[in-house]
Each structure stands twice: as structure tokens, then as C-alpha cells.
Amino acid sequence: MTQSKILLILLIFAGGLWGNVTVGQVEKELMCTCGCTMALYTCECGTSEKMRADIQGMIDRGMDKDAIVTYYVDKYGEKIRSAPTKSGFNLVAWVTPFLALLVVGIALYRLLKRWSSHREERPEPLFTPEVQSQYVKQLDKELQEFEEGENL
């Protein structure tokens, strides 16, 4: 008795989920088939209108998003999807940009660390620290002025 109640609730819930699928959600997953090469949700041609009506019909018949997309993939091939699947070889498409960014980022971090830790052999200072600090202050001031005069 309890089991059948749970089953009933699950079915109603599942039905509710199916009912929540909208044309808008499905059309984001598909390309228009008219040859315009646009994603369905960005196309306003007659073919796209018909596709939307067909999708609405499938939703009304109780099909969920995956089932509708699978129907179109079976009919038109993988190119009907607006983005590659996240499995198999297609995974390369998704992973590569982030992987490249990560690898180059680490390399850049290490390079900058190496560049900034570079210290050349310096000769003994010619001036006392007090005199030197005056020159350092003056140098800093002039560098600051140089940085500000950058309109060239």
C-alpha cells in the first residue's frame, strides 16, 4: 500500500517535471535545420517556427528534454546539437581551453617568479648608506615623474 503510494507520488512528481519542460529550454539545445547555421533559439525563420511547434507537440505528448533532443539527433545527426556532448572525444572540446589556461598560468607564474628573483652580482657600494638613501629617494622621485609623463 505504502509502496504504491510512493510510486504514485513519484509518478506525479515525474509528470510535474515533464510538465515543466518548456520550448525555450529545448530550443537552446538545438540548431535550426533550415541551413541558416543559427541556434534554434536565435532563429526566426519559418523552419524554426515549425520546429518550435513540433517541440511543443512533443512536450504535450509527455516527452522530456533529453527524449526530444535524442529524437532530433536520430533524425539529423549530431550536428543538430548546439554544443558538443560532454563525453568521448567531444570532452576534448570542453577541457582543452581550461587546461591550456591552467598550464600556461602555472608556467607564467613560475616564469615571473624566476624573473623577479633574479639578482645580479652587485659591487660594493661607493657611498655610505645615508648618502645612498638620498640618491635612492631622488631616483624614486624621478622614476615616479617619468612614469607620470607617459603620453609619448
Q: How far is the CB of 25 from other proteins (least distance, A)?
A: 12
Q: Which is nearer to other proteins, 8 or 141 (CB)?
A: 141
Per CB under 8 A, residues contacting other proteins are: 24, 28-29, 31, 36-39, 41-46, 49, 77-84, 89-90, 93-94, 96-98, 100-101, 104-105, 108, 112-113, 115-118, 143, 147-152
Burial of 89 (0-12, 13-18, 19+ CB in 10 A): exposed
Q: Which is nearer to other proteins, 130 or 148 (CB)?
A: 148
| Beta carbon of residue 61, minimum distance to other proteins (angstroms, whole number) | 20
Which residue, 14 or 106, has its beta carbon nearer to other proteins? Answer: 106
Is the separation of the CB atoms in 27 and 52 below 8 Å? yes
